[in-house]
Amino acid sequence: MQNKKEKKSEKLLNVLDGMTRVKGMRLMRYINWGHLGKTSLLVGFLFFFCEVLIYYIVLLQCTWPQIETNTKHSSVKVMMLADVHLLGPRFGHWFDKLRREWQMYRTFQTAMTLHNPQVVFILGDIFDEGHQCNEIEFNNYVKRFHSVFSVPENTKLYVVIGNHDIGFHYGISPRLKERFERSFNTSSVEMVTINNNIFILVNSMALHGDNCFLCKPAEDKLKEVSEILKCAKSGSATSNGCKKYKSLPLYSPPIFLQHFPLYRPSDSHCKEPDSAPPRIINEPFREFWDCLARGSTNKVLDYLEPRAVFSGHTHHGCFTIHRNRIPEWTLPSFSWRNKNDPSFVLAAFAPDTFLVSKCYMPKESTVIHLYMIGAFLILMWMYFTRFRYLKGTLYKEK
């Protein structure tokens, strides 16, 4: 009795297996492998266009400003960006981190290829959690930064310290300050001369003016830089005050770079395309938090007498004139995480003149819309070509 039941079960299984094979064979007949391959190519092209090609299309529209100089010295081409905010281990989803870093990597490396700047300045907040990391996390942070923002051997890279890198003034410890300066070979006040153009890089948090371990050395260094500039301007290296300096640069009014903007009441006067949105553009700035204090701003302008100022921190673009003659460009964030329409600066400097142009990156909303439109068109193409194929196959079978 049991053997008969087993034989019946085996026969039933064989019948079901045969039916499944027949249906599978029929299903295979309705698959158009050429159509599937074309669909894969379309999907791949959409991905390649949105993740690689669009950066070349957009950044090709940027050009270096052309300057005419009366000096024998050649100009220097400088790329500037701010507020990279590489995400750390605590905040931000892994996909958010992957997406933002790819966008910054693709933009930066495309700009390196297309425009080949001689110098790159990053104006602070290269990390989002630099002030909260332990040593292992910080070292990994530094490796990621150099991976995303690697530059050719003929390009110089300088980093300005931001508050997310070491903390705001009251949260900075000697360990945090020294760790960042050692990793990026920088300091609170640094003077860099390139093709006889003088760039002054300053840690904004060191301009608090309270004689703390950070501020006192920075102010002393600013005074020294001021004396060097005055000696270079006077052309008198043998005077009593200038003899202590072994060499002086050829004088040109310096370019001042820092993370915080110089003092301004708010962004209400900003008319840039990437200015702050209307809901926050009139919010008043807090000194030492949103911008430098008035006293620190006046001190810097008195010491350095710069011909131009570049800053970041607010995540929005702005153009400001100080003392009726000193222009300041505040750069927006370089990351889609903080700005739908990020941008960076391409500037040409000569000792007697300079020009600045802003280069806009692809908008995140544009890329998302391209994905949506492309996906819709591919689905429609799949639907209609599949319908025609099935119709033709069924007609042949009849």
pLDDT at 271: 93
DSSP 3-state assignment of 298? helix
Higher local confidence (pLDDT), 37 or 375: 375
For 280-298, what is each residue's pLDDT tens digit?
Answer: 999 999 999 999 999 999 9
pLDDT at 23: 47
pTM score > 0.75 for this model?
yes
Beta strands in the chain (DSSP E): 76-81, 119-123, 156-160, 189-194, 197-202, 255-258, 308-311, 318-322, 326-330, 343-350, 353-360
User: With bands split at pLDDT 50, 70 and 90, how would you rate the model's confidence at 377?
Assistant: very high
Higher local confidence (pLDDT), 1 or 352: 352
User: With bands split at pLDDT 50, 70 and 90, how would you rate the model's confidence at 106?
Assistant: very high
Q: Could you tell me the CA-to-CA distances from 158 to 57, 161, 205, 391 in Å, in that order?
A: 27, 10, 18, 64
- Say if residue 14's pLDDT is above 80: no
What is the mean pLDDT of the segment spanning 145-171?
95
Cα–Cα distance between 228 and 230 in angstroms, integer? 5
pLDDT at 93: 77
Cα–Cα distance between 352 and 173 in angstroms, integer? 40
What is the mean pLDDT of the segment spanning 155-159?
97
pLDDT at 394: 47
- Say if residue 15's pLDDT is above 60: no
Q: pLDDT over 70 for what percent of the chain? A: 86
Residues constituting the chain: 398
Q: Which of 179, 184, 183 is nearest to 167 (CA)?
A: 179
pLDDT at 390: 52
Q: Could you tell me the CA-to-CA distances from 239 to 8, 227, 235 in Å, in that order?
A: 114, 12, 9
Mean pLDDT of the chain: 88
- Say if residue 18's pLDDT is above 60: no
Beta strands in 304-363 (DSSP E): 308-311, 318-322, 326-330, 343-350, 353-360
Higher local confidence (pLDDT), 25 or 371: 371
Query: Where do runs of H (alpha helix) occur along 185-214?
Result: none
Least confident of 45-54, 65-74, 324-333, 379-388: 379-388
For 209-252, what is each residue's pLDDT tens digit?
Answer: 898 999 999 999 999 999 999 998 887 766 767 878 878 888 99
- Say if residue 360's pLDDT is above 80: yes
For 63-90, what is each residue's pLDDT tens digit?
Answer: 999 988 877 777 899 999 999 999 988 8
Q: Which of 221, 228, 227 is nearest to 181 (CA)?
A: 221
